[in-house]
């Protein structure tokens, strides 16, 4: 798929109009359609980052970096279409226990381990994933998810959520009028979790997922 294909596919998956996406990135709907239809052949990298944020995905997904081989990536960098990530500084974050990408599991605990992150990634802690409920968000069993501590996320963002004594990783939605929280997987084989005001459970957001680290096998 091209960048244009991914932009359109992701927008439709979220049920957003071109106008809504345009509002989020400071462009009109005509420009968004031109990106999606390939009329603007090379979408500027400066707009890829806000587009990824508006579409609750990553620049890597929109650019299709995982589909590029090394020679193509080097050419993109040479042509100025992408900017290599600076690894000049690093910091350590704690690697906590396993988090469920499936059914919620017991609350996470510290493992005593740490991982090194580039300073470009503003993460506070990392978790190892177990399960396949988030595979369509490109989060797989065994991945390490880097997270930022925060107690709120925007609807549709991927959050680390505490449900009583269990923790899970899901897309989080809160509907104020109905007083309903929905934890939505990214795999049709798994059911979403709905929690209403009548449910006597404690629901808290522990952090927002930023990126994943995958072991090369």
**pTM summary value:** 0.57
In tens, the pLDDT along 176-214 reads 888 899 999 999 999 999 998 888 788 889 999 988 886
HEC states along 5-67?
Answer: HHHHHHHHHHCCCHHHHHHHHCCCHHHHHHHHHCCCCCCCHHHHHHHHHHCCCCHHHHHCHHH
Q: pLDDT-based confidence at 102, cuts 50/70/90?
A: confident
Q: pLDDT-based confidence at 88, cuts 50/70/90?
A: very low
Q: Are strands 180-184 and 166-175 parallel, antiparallel or unpaired?
A: antiparallel
Q: What residue has token string 């991945």?
A: 143
Structural domains for the chain: 3-79 (1.10.260.40), 90-213 (2.10.109.10)
83 vs 181 pLDDT, higher one = 181
Residues noted as catalytic? 133, 170
100 vs 171 pLDDT, higher one = 171
Closest listed residue to residue 171, CA positions, set 159, 161, 180, 162: 159
């Amino acid at each position: 798929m091209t960048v244009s294909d991914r932009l359109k596919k992701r927008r439709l998956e979220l049920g957003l109009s071109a106008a809504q996406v345009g509002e989020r990135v400071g462009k009109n709907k005509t420009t968004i359609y031109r990106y999606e239809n390939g009329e603007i052949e090379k979408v500027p990298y400066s707009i890829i980052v806000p587009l990824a944020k508006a579409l609750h995905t990553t620049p890597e997904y929109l650019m299709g970096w995982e589909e590029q081989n090394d020679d193509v990536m080097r050419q993109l960098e040479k042509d100025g279409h992408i900017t290599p990530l600076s690894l000049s500084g690093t910091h350590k974050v704690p690697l906590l226990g396993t988090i469920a990408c499936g059914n919620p599991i017991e609350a996470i605990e510290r493992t005593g381990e740490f991982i090194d992150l580039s300073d470009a990634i503003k993460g506070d802690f990392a978790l190892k994933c177990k399960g396949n409920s988030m595979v369509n968000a490109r989060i797989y069993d065994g991945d390490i998810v880097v997270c930022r501590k925060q107690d709120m996320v925007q609807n549709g963002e991927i959050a680390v959520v505490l449900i009583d004594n269990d923790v899970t990783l899901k897309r989080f939605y809160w509907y104020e009028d109905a007083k309903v929280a929905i934890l939505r997987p990214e795999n049709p084989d798994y059911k979403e979790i709905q929690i209403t005001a009548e449910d006597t459970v404690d629901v808290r957001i522990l952090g927002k997922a930023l990126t994943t680290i995958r072991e090369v096998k």
